[in-house]
Structure 1
């Protein structure tokens, strides 16, 4: 798992589809859903941590893009 798309595919395996319309919000909701899956024992620790790191990176990158757009 290396990309946001990979995390989306992981969530899709659990019939979780996230589309709010704003990428930053989509990432935040994915983090919430990922946490719920892990807390309920449906995800292995390694998969959870890898997906969480990907979402953190994507959130940071998207936040930086928004800051640039708002200048």
Structure 2
């Protein structure tokens, strides 16, 4: 995983599609979904950490 697109593809595997026309809101919703997937042990710790890092970096780039 290297980009936000890759995180979106990870979420898509679990049936989660996020698009609200507000990029920052999208990133926050994706972060919440990633946390829930990890809490339910659907994704591994490495994927969880990498996804959060990518989403937070993108959010900081937009601000």
The TM tier, using the shorter chain, reads over 0.9
Aligned residues: 63
Larger radius of gyration: 1
Structure 2 gap ranges (5+): none
Structure 1: runs of 5+ lacking an equivalent: 64-71
RMSD, aligned α-carbons: 0.4
TM-score by length of 1: 0.87
4+ residue runs over 3 A deviation: none
Structure possessing the higher relative contact order (Cα contacts under 8 Å, 6 or more residues apart):
2
Q: TM-score, normalised by structure 2?
A: 0.97
